[in-house]
Structure 1
Amino acid sequence: MRLRGTDDADVIVVGAGPAGSAAAHYAAAAGLDVLLLEKSSFPRDKICGDGLTPRAVAELVRMGVPVREEDGWIRNIGLRAVAGGRSYEFPWPELRSYPSYGLARSRMNLDQTLAEHARSTGAKLLERTSVTGAVVDERTGRVAGVTARPVDDRGRRAGDEVTYRAPVVIAADGVSARIATSLGLEKDHRRPMGVAVRTYFRSPRHDDPWMESQLELWDGAPGKSALLPGYGWIFALGDGTVNVGLGSVSSTAAATKIDYKALFARWMENVPEEWGFTPENQVGPVRGAALPMAFNRKPLYRSGLMLVGDAGGMVSPFNGEGIAYAMQAGRTAADAVAQARARTTDHARERALATYPEIMRRDLGGYYTLGRYFVRLIEHPQVMRICTTYGLPRPLVMKFVVKLLSDCYEPHGGDVVDRVIAGLSRMVPSA
């Protein structure tokens, strides 16, 4: 689809996280010349829970990424929810669309695995390449490439700025969304925003087959302890360590006054001693990150620029999960670019590229809207307390909640719970 002989690629992908690597893989598999730019060098860390739902596993399988245990993955069989002093275990549902197991793997290893997979498919990966801005065609106003410069391991300039050109740029540059922001695509402050902090511990729980969610988080303030909208997690990684973290969510992007690291420290002071969550067993610092949710930055496509993953606010308001949707977005964006390449006129190419936001809105818009309603509810402590006290013991209610929170339901057909969720997702306005 190169429109000029000076183009360096058919598509430039900025950022080699799950969204960018998925986009690069699918675009290369479709025969496009792909340039994948990553500001760090692998292996590199990212702040995440490291747990993958069955929906994310299905995306890995579509990419052809090996997911065997001998390839470094640990499987989990479902969700353990802890609230009100009781524990409830809910196996992942048996569905046609997704496998009945999840996976866990540190982002240090996951992102490198996906980037190398994209490279093996044919994408050209440039590490330590920091994108500094978009190149805009003065005549058409379209994004026609990016400027970038080489950097060292600390992110410092290590060479002269370079211009890379392509008719389409896929921005997978994370929550900062620097390319989109530089072009005036600001986040919608009315959409939910989450915050998460996490660290790692050496622990005897490292081979736990369940993903555990602590559904009650208390602020711990003396004399006025309050229930917060959010949850804690413990995800086993099978390598002697566990990922332990907590997240909270707000129905808007307004900054909260919660000291998350202090809250995490208070939580750790009260966990059972046998878990081993002690300073001596801690591996690395407690680090935090924002979680942009529910398509909080739009449009997802405009004038040669596509937003995928966190850059487009694709984290679920229900559970803080973003990897599955990032990979889905990368796949969908790459297909739109490949389809555009087959068109013979500028107008037809633009129509093909514009299918990307339409498909994402169709597939996830209603689900994200339900998630926005959900966040508004759990912002009220009394509602959260009622849900955990009276909802968890009821199998049918929890079957509904687990499917809704994990987005693991049959969109067409399935049992009565699947049909209810699918129906609600179609009835509400798309996000």
Structure 2
Amino acid sequence: MPPVPDVDVLVAGGGPVGLASAIEARLAGLSVAIVEPRSGVIDKACGEGLMPGTVAELARWGVHPSGCRIAGFAYLQGVRRAEYRFAGGGGLGVRRLELHGALSARAAELGVERVAGRVDGVVQSATTIAAGGVSARWLLACDGLHSTVRRQLGLEREPGRRRRFGLRRHFAVEPWTDLVEVHWSEAAEAYVTPVGEGTVGVAVLAPPGLGFDAALVGFPELAARLSGAVAASSLRGAGPLRQRTRGRVRGRALLVGDASGYVDALTGEGLRVGFAQARAAVAAIAGGEPQGYEREWRRVTRDARLITQGLLAAAQSPARRAIVPAARALPGVFGFAVERLAR
């Protein structure tokens, strides 16, 4: 007689995508356990701007975090500025701590089990998969950029030579716009997101060795806005951002979110894509067809991968200086790209 699993779904990683996967699985009628070594509310260096599609998905799950309404995006380079306001409902600027707390509360309300520990020693059989002291019918690996499950499954690839890192800090200053501003310099980008009354988050994306303060020097207009502002959080970092995989499915294990591969953070759609992957992964295992997730993963990430890869290629070439002027000169193209990523 085959062994009886402890739960239907084991989720590795209790970040936003892991919690989203757990919530989606519970709403599909599956029993779920999350294995996560960290306790409490989990922070992460990120832009903290939620696209309209992300806000809609959270509402579908019954999750309503508090934050600042985001009406669209603006690209800035010196005196040049290109902006686009969403055609439909707006997005939301949300502190990662607020988002994680709201998702955690909803997962607990739905009966998701929490297990303190790490997902090590993944062992599969014909009917079960076990890791972290828990056995399940399926494993969803949502353990981030540096996924240990991805490595254990043999699905990891070299990330490539050009590596970039993210650094984030909050400032106690009144938001001056309802847009996410993306400031461009010769070497880096800075995402400025209103996340609350009297608070903005600044996330810098830069090559190795360029620190947060040094990067801000390249954005004189932004530096002037923040002059004299008190830091409202400690500096956090993440990276390298570029992550590649050999596939998203290995037996009864499926990679979801950053663990499944990550291009870069240039376009701000990370959680929207991660949540779409969670939905696709749960649908695949609920239907007993995990291999179908590979196809769905490609479909739900296609726009983000193509647009982000194209923008990243331009950003790492002599064409970098033309990105903001081009967005300003071709507002229809700029708006089309933002809307494709937003929904």
TM-score (structure 2 length as normaliser): 0.89
Matches for 1:148-187 after TM superposition, within 5 Å: 163-187=133-157
C-alpha separation between the residues in 2 aligned to 1:26 and 1:257?
37
Q: Between the two proteins, what is the percent identity of the paired residues?
A: 25
Deviates more, 1:235-244 or 1:400-409: 400-409
- Give the C-alpha shift of residue 103 in structure 1: 0.3
Match of 1:134 among 121, 126, 149: 121
Tell me: CA distance 1:332–1:238, structure 2 relative to 1, closer, same or farther (3 Å).
same
C-alpha separation between the residues in 2 aligned to 1:403 and 1:319?
13
Q: Which residue does the alignment assign to 2:69?
A: 75
Deviations 1:332-378 (A, max 9, x none): 111112112xxxxxxxxxxx111111111123236413432332222
Tell me, yes or no, if structure 1 residue 399 matches structure 2 residue 332. yes
Tell me, yes or no, if structure 1 residue 373 matches structure 2 residue 310. yes
The aligned amino acid for 2:336 is: K
Q: Which residue does the alignment assign to 2:83?
A: 89
Tell me: CA distance 1:143–1:175, structure 2 relative to 1, closer, same or farther (3 Å).
farther
C-alpha separation between the residues in 2 aligned to 1:263 and 1:47?
18
Q: Which residue does the alignment assign to 1:20?
A: 18
C-alpha separation between the residues in 1 aligned to 2:339 and 2:164?
16
Q: Any idea what SS the aligned residue of 1:204 has?
A: coil
CA contact (8 A) 2:47 2:203 kept: yes
C-alpha separation between the residues in 2 aligned to 1:73 and 1:276?
20
Match of 1:299 among 244, 247, 250: 247
CA contact (8 A) 1:292 1:310 kept: no
Q: Which residue does the alignment assign to 1:259?
A: 210
CA contact (8 A) 1:75 1:209 kept: yes
Matches for 1:41-60 after TM superposition, within 5 Å: 41-60=39-58
Tell me: CA distance 1:79–1:402, structure 2 relative to 1, closer, same or farther (3 Å).
same
Q: Which residue does the alignment assign to 2:3?
A: 4
Q: Which residue does the alignment assign to 1:210?
A: 179
Q: Any idea what SS the aligned residue of 1:376 has?
A: helix
Tell me, yes or no, if structure 1 residue 239 matches structure 2 residue 197. yes
- Give the C-alpha shift of residue 320 in structure 1: 4.7
- Give the C-alpha shift of residue 89 in structure 1: 3.1
Q: Which residue does the alignment assign to 1:326?
A: 274
Deviations 1:286-309 (A, max 9, x none): 22111645x722311111111111
C-alpha separation between the residues in 2 aligned to 1:208 and 1:401?
19
Tell me: CA distance 1:195–1:184, structure 2 relative to 1, closer, same or farther (3 Å).
same
Query: How many residues matched?
Result: 343
CA contact (8 A) 2:10 2:138 kept: yes
Task: Decide which structure has the larger Cα Rg and report it.
Answer: 1
Deviations 1:68-106 (A, max 9, x none): xxx522111111222231333321123xxxxx3010111
- Give the C-alpha shift of residue 212 in structure 1: 1.1
Q: Any idea what SS the aligned residue of 2:117 has?
A: strand
TM-score (structure 1 length as normaliser): 0.72
Matches for 1:281-292 after TM superposition, within 5 Å: 281-290=230-239, 292=241
**Cα RMSD after superposing both structures:** 2.7
Match of 1:358 among 295, 298, 302: 295
Q: Any idea what SS the aligned residue of 1:353 has?
A: coil
Q: Which residue does the alignment assign to 1:414?
A: none
- Give the C-alpha shift of residue 328 in structure 1: 1.0
Q: Any idea what SS the aligned residue of 1:327 has?
A: helix
The aligned amino acid for 1:238 is: G
Q: Which residue does the alignment assign to 1:189?
A: 159
Match of 2:322 among 386, 389, 400: 386
> Structure 1 regions of 5+ residues with no counterpart?
95-99, 148-162, 218-226, 249-255, 341-351, 411-431
Tell me, yes or no, if structure 1 residue 199 matches structure 2 residue 173. no
Tell me: CA distance 1:191–1:56, structure 2 relative to 1, closer, same or farther (3 Å).
farther
C-alpha separation between the residues in 2 aligned to 1:185 and 1:84?
42
Larger RCO of the pair (alpha carbons < 8 Å, separation 6+): 2
The aligned amino acid for 1:398 is: P
> Structure 2 regions of 5+ residues with no counterpart?
none
Tell me: CA distance 1:35–1:184, structure 2 relative to 1, closer, same or farther (3 Å).
same
Deviates more, 1:78-87 or 1:21-30: 78-87
CA contact (8 A) 1:92 1:101 kept: yes
CA contact (8 A) 1:21 1:330 kept: no
Structure 1 residue ranges, 4+ long, deviating more than 6 angstroms after superposition? none
Match of 2:108 among 119, 138, 155: 119
C-alpha separation between the residues in 1 aligned to 2:296 and 2:153?
23
Tell me: CA distance 1:257–1:20, structure 2 relative to 1, closer, same or farther (3 Å).
closer
CA contact (8 A) 1:45 1:108 kept: yes
CA contact (8 A) 1:16 1:111 kept: no
- Give the C-alpha shift of residue 49 in structure 1: 1.0
CA contact (8 A) 1:74 1:238 kept: yes
Q: Any idea what SS the aligned residue of 1:131 has?
A: coil
